């Protein structure tokens, strides 16, 4: 088990979440329960899944939660395009959030790959494929 506060990717996800909350506070009120809510929940999901995965006993369990976090980051990337195209985001804020989420995805992808490669080293050679 790990301390999520020690992970750079968790810190970046946390900063992203705070930035996203601040930026989406200026969105139209009619989107509060639509895109604003969806974006915020997905952002919280990234850092929460990293934290929850750190509390798991096995590396495979941890990796599964990192993959869920990666999926939430991909969801946000799509939703950022939507809010930009709807005119809810100025270019500066869009670029900032997009750069942050792309960096988080790169870090998560590398972290997942590292864990998977270390896990494969310890798999029995004759294990049946699933």
Tokens of 126: 């004759």
- The structural domains of the chain, ordered by start, are 4-121 (1.20.1440.60)
Does the pLDDT value for residue 129 go beyond 60?
A: no
Q: What is the DSSP letter of 82?
A: H
**10 has pLDDT over 50:** yes
Element (H, E) at 113: helix 91-121
Residue 76 sits at the vertex; the CA angle it makes with 74 and 77, to the nearest 5 degrees, is 65
The structure tokens listed for 47 are: 């850092």
pLDDT at 112 > cutoff 50: yes
Cβ-proximal residues to 119 (8 Å cutoff; 6+ apart), any chain: 59, 60, 63
pLDDT digits 0-9 by tens, 56-84: 999 999 999 999 999 999 999 999 999 99
As a whole number of angstroms, the distance between CA 16 and CA 10 comes to 10
pLDDT of residue 126: 47
Give the three-class secondary structure for 22: helix
Q: Mean per-residue pLDDT for 91-113?
A: 98
Q: How big is the CA angle at 68 (ends 66 and 69), to the nearest 5 degrees? A: 60
């Amino acid at each position: 088990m790990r301390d999520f506060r020690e992970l750079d990717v968790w810190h970046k996800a946390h900063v992203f979440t705070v930035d996203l909350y601040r930026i989406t506070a200026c969105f139209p009120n009619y989107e509060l329960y639509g895109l604003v809510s969806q974006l915020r929940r997905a952002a919280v999901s990234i850092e929460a899944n990293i934290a929850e995965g750190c509390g798991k006993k096995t590396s495979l369990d941890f990796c599964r939660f990192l993959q869920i976090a990666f999926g939430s980051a991909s969801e946000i990337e799509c939703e950022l395009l939507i809010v930009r195209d709807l005119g809810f985001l100025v270019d500066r804020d869009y670029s900032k959030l997009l750069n942050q989420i792309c960096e988080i995805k790169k870090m998560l992808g590398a972290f997942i790959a590292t864990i998977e490669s270390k896990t494969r080293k310890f798999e029995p050679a004759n294990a049946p494929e699933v």
